[in-house]
Structure 1
Amino acid sequence: MRRLLLSTALVLAASPALAADYFFSDPPPMYDSYDQQGWSGQYLGATLGGQSTRIELPAGGVLEGYGLIGGIFAGVNYEQDSIVYGAEADVEWNSFDQAAACSSPAWYCSVQGSLRARLGYAVDNFHVYGTAGIAAATVGGYGWTAGLGAEVAFSDAWFGRAEYRYTALGAANAWYDQTENGVIAHAVRAGVGYRF
């Protein structure tokens, strides 16, 4: 009888502690949207950088110089097993005075842009990529561009990037037609973007 009373008393004493553990246990870990979404999604951003430009004029002569570049970019990414692929477009303004190679107003002569595919590899919040596609500018017409870059996610939405790109336009891109300006450009950009 004494053993039964002792066992009953121990069970009754432990019951509140067990109940407290059941009802007040640690909450489950919070949902981590970055880990779930990764780099997938649409995004929009802005860049600022520098560009060296070499323009070979069809009548002879060369224009060379450096300028600041700045603009906006937009694109979409898809991530699968750390492989990130997608497409991006950008429009920029170049401060290098190219009016001597363009018959339009000076501000118009400095507009450039591209439409590119991107392929990269992501590890957590870090992403490296290669990019290539078509490019256009008011000086040099159409051509191609290719480069490398890296991005770092600061949060689920915000990220920063650094990128180098080579661009060849006009006669520099089409050896068979020397009737237009040939443009070669090397550019380095830094930017910030927002994913939504």
Structure 2
Amino acid sequence: MTRAVATAFLVVLAGGPSLAADLAVTAPAPVYQEVYVEEEELPWDGPYLGLRGGYDWTQVRGTISGASGSSSWSNGIAGPIVGAFAGYNFQFDNNLVAGAEVDGDYTFDMSQYVAGGVSRNHGINWGGSLRGRIGYSLGNALIYGTAGAAVANFYLGTGSKRPHEVIYGYTVGAGVDYAFTENIFARLEYRYTGYPSADFSRYFGKGNTADQETSSNTVTAGLGVKF
């Protein structure tokens, strides 16, 4: 009896490795499933405001006429610009974003020109616009175009005097907003602004008439907050 038990035990031990090998071969391989996590797109809808700064290039063209004849001038003005903007966006299911925006700027530019034999200072010291915007959302980036009405304060004088004239025009441009978080975004924008012919006759003396056209190209970068 003892011999039979011992013999059976030895048989089990001898067959153990073979059985383990069979189990290792027939055990199913683990299955790995790829999990796709969609990146969350940050919303653009709602109110926002921000600060911006950049550089402005302005071109001035004018004509003065009087009893002694007529003369014209053309001059470039350039300088840094700082300002603020605020607006509201509406975002649609097809990734279109539309809204309205208002901005105001102060421009540090001045130049001198000669008209009618007199040297004069001129430049734009403040301006603003009310515009519509329409864009397309690419997740964290919003590419947009913009257009609307513009206003500026153009000063024109002799020596240290600065009589000024408020001029009105239009502005068009394009830009991109990039959201770092749900509330913070950066902006890069280009705009062209045109101010059609404005009457500056009162600054050139009685009996003289003067017209001036003004246009500007502006590049700005900004930082904004969404609410």
TM-score in same-fold range (> 0.5) = yes
* 2:137 aligned partner: 122
CA contact (8 A) 1:98 1:109 kept: no
2:195 pairs with 1:169: yes
Structure 1's unaligned 5+ residue stretches are 1-31, 173-177
Instruction: Give 1:192's aligned amino acid.
Output: L
Question: Radius of gyration: which is bigger?
Answer: 2
2:61 to 56, 60, 79: 56
| Larger proportion of strand | 2
CA contact (8 A) 2:109 2:123 kept: no
2:218 to 159, 163, 187: 187
* 2:96 aligned partner: 83
CA contact (8 A) 2:128 2:152 kept: yes
Offset at 1:119?
A: 0.2
Please give the per-residue CA displacement for 1:66-87, whole angstroms capped at 9, x wherever unaligned: 2101100000000002100000
Instruction: Give 1:56's aligned amino acid.
Output: R
Aligned mates of 2:113, 2:128 — CA distance in 1? 20
- Give 3-state SS (helix, strand or coil) of 1:171's partner: strand
Aligned mates of 1:114, 1:54 — CA distance in 2? 19
Aligned mates of 2:191, 2:144 — CA distance in 1? 12
CA contact (8 A) 1:99 1:109 kept: no
Aligned mates of 1:183, 1:108 — CA distance in 2? 10
Change (3 A) 1:119 1:97: same
- Give 3-state SS (helix, strand or coil) of 1:156's partner: coil
Offset at 1:171?
A: 1.2
2:151 pairs with 1:136: yes
CA contact (8 A) 1:116 1:133 kept: yes
* 2:186 aligned partner: 160
CA contact (8 A) 1:98 1:110 kept: no
Where do 1:71-110 residues align within 5 Å?
71-81=83-93, 82-97=95-110, 109-110=124-125
Please give the per-residue CA displacement for 1:41-86, whole angstroms capped at 9, x wherever unaligned: 1011011001110112342212212210110000000000210000
**Number of corresponding residues:** 154
Aligned mates of 2:222, 2:183 — CA distance in 1? 14
CA contact (8 A) 1:134 1:145 kept: yes
Change (3 A) 1:110 1:100: farther
Structure 2's unaligned 5+ residue stretches are 1-38, 65-71, 115-120, 155-165, 199-208
Instruction: Give 1:183's aligned amino acid.
Output: T
Identity %: 36
Instruction: Give 2:194's aligned amino acid.
Output: A
Structure-2-length-normalised TM-score: 0.62
Structure-1-length-normalised TM-score: 0.71
Aligned mates of 2:52, 2:187 — CA distance in 1? 9
